[in-house]
Chains A and B, each alone.
Chain A
């Protein structure tokens, strides 16, 4: 498995608060990695640093062999790095179809693999069909339920045709069957060769999905390995799961 994402000794502070403290991490092509940690452990900050939303102060991030340095978020997306947000952030004034049109127009086209104007709508509809939202293609996001909103986020990320998808708490607030729906979608994406970093509090989902588990606590990585092994790690039990 070749290395897709490499994070080397990443550091980030917010004033006097150390959000990330020397994080090193690697994700291989097509790998499924679970990222867990209690609230405030630095998971979202790590995602924001990887995606270019927040600038890190120390260390380096490499994606697909490119040093990301201070590259803007849209440049990283165009390189193949997609994300979903903890709270869904759809384009509220656009229909679902147009929500998916954006990555096709701005990301896929920028790679020189753009679709012809006539193919774009068909591609958007195919993606909506894949996540079960085709019937609402011409609705606006305000008409969607919570789980549909999560699916729209995933579909929009898929439309960017990424190599790595970071799913930031994509299952928060969902019922058991809705969690299964999202997991199925993620597995389907992974089967197409997309590496996935799953950030989640629902342990059942993380354990069943991840090939590897990384644990953050107070901005530090305290464990990285096979999920069962990590869960048996005394430090993880103490810091995250309780005694």
Chain B
């Protein structure tokens, strides 16, 4: 299917989901749906660097928070800037930071790269906590409008914006996967030394991946202050985002665009159900149990299971770099 047709199909599905939520008539669906769509974007963004290139990023929360705090920073002097514009600005800021992070850290591999991304999150959180302009450690309030024409409740508008963003992210991921860039990413994941020997400019491609991945994460975070109303560093840089952004693609499957989508919808929905039936405190527990289960039973995720049992492809872990692999660089 051509990418423009795929985009229109996704847009149609997104529209149907929104229409179904409106028809159901319960505003909680919009709150829950926003979170699930947000995780679709986050998981897809993580997968571009982590799944396609094999570089595990533990700093997803930092990029997400960067998008959110860009909104807070703009809100202070330009409160009427619309959410779509904030999404673009948040994406740009996070993309540039992603590029910078990539430049500083992409010579590291395996576990060392993962630790460096975690360090980035800590550094950014420390900066935000000490930056009074965006609320510092006490947090920041964002007054969102009650309603927006013609949708009514503002959360409906936010849900629609996040759905559109999810459609854009999924289409972009699929486009990358099937392009020259996607082939280049796959060679980086499989074997960087062999990739270079085949003429692939690995460092440049990894920088592209960190920039795209960071930008999409920032875009996911940009509307968040309007959704939550009160933004504080400890929750915005929270473990939930970092863990979910990794767990969702791993559970869905990391080598294709559909894996993060499946993982995010499954895990995000489960967490929302658990939040209203048990407690939001069990959300990370659910992720932990599922992750352990999938690592043992289906290391290639749900997509891998499907390929193995429905399409009868051979088993075996495909396209996942071991955390310690290549840690010391190339041996002489």
A residues whose Cβ falls under 8 Å from a Cβ of B:
14, 19, 44-45, 48, 51-54, 72-74, 77-78, 82-83, 85, 89-94, 98, 101-103, 105-107, 110, 140, 142-143, 156, 159-160
Q: Specify which chain A residues have a CB less than 8 angstroms from the CB of B184 in the assembled complex.
A: 102, 105-106
Known: A53-B193, A54-B332, A102-B183. A93 touches B198 (CB 8 A): no
CA distance A110 to B199 in the complex (A): 9
Given contacts A72-B203, A74-B200, A92-B191, 18 further A-B contacts (CB under 8 A): A19-B332, A52-B196, A53-B197, A54-B330, A73-B193, A78-B199, A83-B197, A92-B318, A93-B186, A93-B318, A93-B319, A94-B183, A94-B187, A94-B190, A102-B183, A102-B195, A107-B198, A107-B199
Could you list some 25 contacts between A and B, CB below 8 A? A44-B332, A48-B332, A51-B197, A72-B196, A74-B196, A78-B199, A85-B197, A89-B191, A90-B190, A90-B191, A91-B195, A92-B318, A93-B186, A93-B190, A101-B183, A103-B198, A105-B184, A106-B199, A106-B200, A107-B199, A140-B314, A140-B318, A142-B314, A143-B314, A160-B199
CA distance A54 to B329 in the complex (A): 10
B residues whose Cβ falls under 8 Å from a Cβ of A:
180, 183-184, 186-187, 189-191, 193-203, 255, 314, 316, 318-319, 330, 332
Which of A19, A85, A98, A103 contacts B199 (CB under 8 A)?
A103
Q: Specify which chain B residues have a CB less than 8 angstroms from the CB of A93 in the assembled complex.
A: 186, 189-190, 255, 318-319
The main secondary structure of chain A at its interface with chain B is: helix
Interface contact A98-B183, CB-CB below 8 Å: yes
Nearest CB on B from A210, distance (A) = 23
Nearest CB on A from B3, distance (A) = 15
CA distance A14 to B190 in the complex (A): 27
Interface contact A142-B197, CB-CB below 8 Å: no
CA distance A143 to B318 in the complex (A): 13
Q: Specify which chain A residues have a CB less than 8 angstroms from the CB of B255 in the assembled complex.
A: 93
Interface contact A14-B332, CB-CB below 8 Å: yes
CA distance A127 to B53 in the complex (A): 27
CA distance A116 to B255 in the complex (A): 26
Which of B190, B199, B314, B318 contacts A74 (CB under 8 A)?
B199
